[in-house]
Chain A
Amino acid sequence: MGESAAAAKLSRPSRASLAFDPGEVRQQFPIFRAPRPKPLAYLDSAATSQKPDPVLEAMARYYAEYNANIHRGIYDIAERATAAYEDARRRVAHLVGASSPREIVFTRNSTEALNLVAHAWGRRFLEVGDAIVLTEMEHHSNLVPWQLLAQEKQVELRFIPVTGSGELALETLPELLADGRAKLVSVVHISNVLGTVNPIAEIARTVHAAGALLAVDASQSVPHCPVDVKQLDCDFMAFTSHKMLGPTGIGALYGRRRLLEAMPPFLGGGEMIREVKLTESKWNDLPWKFEAGTMPIAEAIGLGAAVDYLEGLGMAEVFAHDRALAGYAMERLAEVPDLVMLGPPADRRGGVVAFTLGEIHPHDVATVLDDEGVCIRAGHHCAMPLHAKLGVPASARASFHCYSLEEEVDTLVRGLHRARKVFAR
């Protein structure tokens, strides 16, 4: 989304204007139809989303009707499988506004996509003394691959600090880039803990002006809001299917074509080669150069169906819904004594609300909530440095998607009052 579009979207959306009914949407997710002693209040969509019928059906249909390996067989079902797999890539490319499906590489998840950049781009193009700029709010998967690379290549890691309100101190960025040694900046789009929406297009301008590249961890944005790689002007972008109503086991890396073309392969094996001799090989074209071995075919097809489903709802609508619910949650959570919310105000965040509840450990909070049928995340959410910075060992987090309801937030709030009673000292 462009900066002006982003600004427009950040005014508090009214729930009345929603084009879809989350209660109806919910009925298309079998997990919510399954009978249970207490209705499921699933508030952990930032960890993984639930899956709607069309996704599960698309995967089952592949296995039942045209299961075959792709890019190899020349018989009918193999051709159908190949077409379905490549069609999924086209849908993903369309969703994020890539110039061509060749700019979409299927990976296992966001983590693998970021590791791909670290290995294939970082190992080839970084030299001793170069620097990589990250932020203090990164998920471990946008931290550890760079740490490994930094050790191997003797590259320095620099960090954009996080402010007290849980936003990036972007005024530090020009300074971090000033000596010209930083070759890559890698930033999370929407924080999985704070919900902060980082101004990627603005960051891209600063980064490119300094001659560096920009990678974006879009794990929490592509599933929830309109994302257009051209408007963001990023060079790489990682995202993961299981958070966007699709199956686990597949994710994607977007990369600018000329960058991907210049990079050596990531993993070696079948499918990623054009010609193999005993001691050397020629690489396949993009994107298959980066897709070694048999890929998760059913999962790619499921992801394609998930993209369809999301586009059917409308990404702007999904974001409006998530953000309205986060706003509602913040209002209700403010009623709970001793509860402290982390991160920026509602008008500057996505559908994520992390908090602490007095001295009660988040695991204890989550256990009491579990008893009420409420699923939330408790811990450091794979962002230990961020929690260290915020001065809390762990937090509890509620997060939303298109099927989330205000009633679930109400159940959450009731559970929190109960947790306070149970643990009152």
Chain B
Amino acid sequence: MSGMEDLYRENILDHYKHPRNRGTLEHPDVSYEDANPLCGDKIRMDFNIRDGKIEAVRFSGSGCSISQAAASMLCETIEGKPLDEVKKLSRDDVLEMLGIELGPVRLKCGLLALKTLKAGVYGLPQWPGEEDEGEVEQARATDFSGTQPANGRREGHR
């Protein structure tokens, strides 16, 4: 159980305590709110879009440190970037930004901001990474033989 130090790395706590791009935009071109009903996390993102670029982005809402830090990191990454480049951002890119592995429950916390971005700007409402499930492969890879229960620290599949 070395999980906590991993999960709450310096960069995550830093973004959680000092969020970048937090707030709202006065005249957003797109404003979208999404929620993770499992934990009650809510994220709203406001975008100004100019010349095929995300000129400005702000997020607001409430939730756990993972969801808030991920939103902060995502906003920092996409501001000023071209729309077609931002569209390519995947679940794995967010996990890389966070620098941690997440169990199935916390994975949704980590991906809520990306989901909000994709649904708001690109009209793609699915959970990132759920487009191609691979559940069967995952089931095969799960080891049920150990006495220590798998505590979900490895990368989840949902």
Contacts and interface: CB of A to CB of B under 8 A. Distances in A.
Contacts of B62: 361, 393
Given A363-B109, A364-B64, A367-B7, A380 B40 contact: yes
A350 interface: no
B63 interface: yes
A34, A362, A393 pick with most chain B CB within 10 angstroms = A393
A368 interface: yes
Contacts of B106: 363, 367
Contacts of A72: none
Contacts of A394: 39-40
Contacts of A364: 8, 64-66
Interface in B18-72: 37-42, 62-66
A339 B42 CA distance: 22
Contact of A425 (B17, B38, B66, B151): B17
Interface string B91-128: 00000000000000110010000000000000000000
Interface residues of B, number: 26
B40 A387 contact: yes
B1 A37 contact: yes
B40 A423 contact: no
A423 B64 CA distance: 11
Contacts of A379: 38-40
Contacts of B156: none
Contacts, number: 59
Interface in B131-158: 147-148, 151
Given A34-B147, A422-B13, A425-B17, A371 B39 contact: no
Contacts of A384: 37
B1 A422 contact: no
A363 B1 contact: no
A393 B40 contact: yes
A368 B5 CA distance: 9
Interface string A40-59: 00000000000000000000
Given A361-B64, A367-B7, A38 B39 contact: no
Interface in A352-384: 361-364, 367-368, 370-371, 373, 378-380, 384
Nearest to A363: B64
Interface in A8-42: 34, 36-38
A393 B35 CA distance: 11
Per CB-CB distance, the 9 closest pairs between chain A and chain B, nearest first, are A393-B40, A371-B4, A361-B64, A363-B64, A394-B40, A425-B17, A364-B65, A364-B64, A363-B39
29 contacts: A36-B148, A37-B1, A38-B1, A361-B39, A361-B63, A361-B64, A361-B65, A362-B39, A363-B106, A363-B109, A364-B64, A364-B65, A367-B7, A367-B8, A367-B106, A368-B8, A370-B4, A370-B151, A371-B5, A373-B1, A379-B39, A379-B40, A384-B37, A387-B40, A393-B40, A393-B42, A422-B8, A423-B16, A425-B17
Interface of A: 34, 36-38, 361-364, 367-368, 370-371, 373, 378-380, 384, 387, 393-394, 422-423, 425
Given A370-B3, A380-B40, A422-B4, 16 more contacts: A38-B1, A361-B39, A361-B41, A361-B63, A362-B64, A363-B64, A363-B109, A367-B4, A367-B7, A367-B106, A371-B3, A371-B5, A384-B37, A394-B40, A423-B13, A423-B16
